Amino acid sequence: MKTEEINYSYDQINLKGFVAYPEKDKAPLILIAPSWAGRDEFVKDKARELAQEGFVAMAIDMYGEAKVGTSTEENQSLMTPLVEDRDKLKGIVNAALEAGKQLDEVDNSKVAAIGYCFGGLVVLDLARSGSNVCGVVSFHGLLMDSEISQNGIKSKILVLHGERDPMVPLSMVDEFQKEMTEAGADWQLHSYGNAYHAFTNKEANDPNLGTQYNQDADRRSWKSMMNFFEEIFE
C-alpha cells in the first residue's frame, strides 16, 4: 500500500496530512479528523483501513507540524484554542479538504469526512461551513453548536454516539438534533447503548475521563459508516 505525507498550510501554519492510497487509479476521498491528541497512529491506522476498502484516505493535521500530544493536559491545551475559535477550526479543516481534492488519485465528485472525539466536532463544523462534501461521520464526537454558513449544510450527516458518553450529555444531543433540524440538514444519529466516550479506541480505558472501548459499538459503527458511504457515493 502506498502512503505518503503531504504538506499544505492555513494562515501560515504548516500542516501535514498522512495519505493512504488504494490499489486503483481514481477513488473517493475520505478525510479523517483526529481526536484531541492530534494526528497520531490511531488515525493513520484508520487511513490504511479505509485505503484497503478502496478509498483515498487522508488523516488531517489540526495543530501544525503533525503535533501529537503526550498527556491529557497537553491534549487539552492543543484542542481548546480551536474549540474557542471555531472560524479558525473551520479554516484548517477546509484547507485539508482543498489539499486532498488536489491529489491526482482522487475522484473530486466523491468526498466525505469522518472524525473521532474532537475530530467529530471538526467534521461537523466542516458541514456547518457549507463545504461541498457528500457526507460527514462523527464517531463519539463533541456536539456543541456553531454558526452555520449562509449557504446552509450541503452534506449528509451521520453521528455515531455512545449513550453513556459523559462528555456529550443528553441535553447536548437534544440541542444538536434541534440545530440540525432547524438548519434543514439531512441528518441521522445512532446511539449505542452502554457505550462510553472513545468507544472505537482499543487503548481507551480511563474511568476518570469516561472513555472505554466497546467492541460491539466499534463494529456496528464502522458498518454504519460503510453503509452511509454506499448511499452518498452511489
| 76-119 pLDDT tens trace | 999 999 999 999 999 999 999 999 999 999 999 999 999 999 99
Q: Which fold does the domain 3-232 belong to in CATH? A: Rossmann fold (3.40.50)
Residues 6+ apart with CB under 8 A from 192: 160, 161, 162, 163, 199, 214, 216, 217, 220, 221
Q: CB-based burial of residue 184 (10 Å sphere; 0-12 exposed, 13-18 middle, 19+ buried)? A: exposed
Rounded CA separation 34/117 (Å): 7
Q: What angle do CA 198, 46, 214 make, to 5 degrees?
A: 30
**Which pLDDT does position 207 carry in this prediction?**
85
Average pLDDT, integer, range 23-48: 97
Could you tell me the strand order of the sheet in which 135-139 lies?
3-10, 13-20, 56-59, 27-33, 106-116, 135-139, 156-162, 187-192
| 117-158 pLDDT tens trace | 999 999 999 999 999 999 999 999 999 999 999 999 999 999
Average pLDDT, integer, range 42-68: 98
Rounded CA separation 215/201 (Å): 9
pTM above 0.75, yes or no: yes
